[in-house]
Amino acid sequence: MTQIRIRERHSRWVRWSHWLNVPLLMIMIWSGLLVYWANPQYIPFPQWLAKPLRMDYRLAEGMGWHFAVMWPFALNGFIYGLYLAFSGEWKEVVPNRSSAREAVQVVAHDLHLRRELPAQSGKLNGAQRFAYSGALLLGFFAVVTGVAILKPVQGSWLTELLGGYAWARFEHFVCMCGLVVFTFVHLAQVARAGWKNLRTMIAGYEVVETETDSRET
Ligand code: HEM
């Protein structure tokens, strides 16, 4: 007999901070690119690309958005971090002893090199644990390196710790690139996992089907 149960997968805190993070991160990346592109000395991408994307000479606009949205972006990440720490859910997200092996097996499965998915220890598989913890670290360092280049005089100790102003700027850019890569891979995985998985991040619940021996009931 098939038994169907509904089980909570993502709490309200996780879902709200996750979905708020999507527009906040997009605005931070877009406005950050406006700032980078405004100074020819710092061009991360060719100038010919800036024109068709209409991203040239918009420094004030970029800074305005970046410095306004950095507060809710950082606060949202902070609240999510506090939630993970105090609910004990960090144990489900941070890689554990079997995560490295599990992650290799999940990637092998995704590349069609292995037939079965490995047995999963907890809510997230090893590959997800590494990817999500990595994204959280990137978000954290994006804020830290951002503070270092926003306040290089008042926070000179931090800027020095990160290797000086030029390095902190570069590290800030690298964090952004990492978050972009994560988002693309994440979206591909979400598309692959299908609607049932996406629904868990919207509604919070997952449907669990278990086979029971009818003689037991
Ligand atoms: C429209 C864009 C996005 C969609 C559709 C999406 C979808 C999802 C879904 C369905 C899950 C649940 C996976 C599971 O339970 O197996 C998830 C988890 C997660 N996503 Fe996204 N996501 C998006 C953007 C992002 C972005 C931009 C970030 C961060 C840079 C992010 C970070 C995370 C993290 C950290 C988790 C794990 C949350 C936890 O379990 O505590 N997502 N996402």
Q: Which domain does 32 fall in, by range?
A: 2-216
Give the pLDDT of residue 3.
87
154 contacts: CB under 8 Å, gap ≥ 6: none
Give the pLDDT of residue 136.
97
CATH number at residue 182: 1.20.950.20
- What whole-number distance in Å separates Cα of residue 169 and Cα of residue 97? 35
Give the pLDDT of residue 211.
82
Atom of ligand 1 nearest to the CA of 197: 10
Give the pLDDT of residue 217.
47
Please tell me the distance between residue 118's alpha carbon and the centre of ligand 1 in angstroms.
Answer: 21
Give the pLDDT of residue 214.
61
The distance from CA 122 to its chain's CA centroid, rounded to whole angstroms, is: 20
**pLDDT per position in the chain (217 positions), as tens?**
888 999 999 999 999 999 999 999 999 999 999 998 887 666 667 778 878 888 878 899 999 999 999 999 999 999 999 999 999 999 999 999 999 999 999 999 999 999 888 888 788 999 999 999 999 999 999 999 999 999 999 999 999 999 999 999 999 999 999 999 999 999 999 999 999 999 999 999 999 888 877 655 4
Please tell me the distance between residue 82's alpha carbon and the centre of ligand 1 in angstroms.
Answer: 18
Q: Is 15 in the pocket of ligand 1 (CB under 6 A)?
A: no
- For the chain, the domain total comes to 1
- What whole-number distance in Å separates Cα of residue 181 and Cα of residue 178? 5
Q: Is 68 in the pocket of ligand 1 (CB under 6 A)?
A: no
Please tell me the distance between residue 200's alpha carbon and the centre of ligand 1 in angstroms.
Answer: 10
- Cβ-contact 2, 23 below 8 angstroms: no
- Cβ-contact 124, 93 below 8 angstroms: yes
Give the pLDDT of residue 216.
52
Residue 57 is given by DSSP the state: S
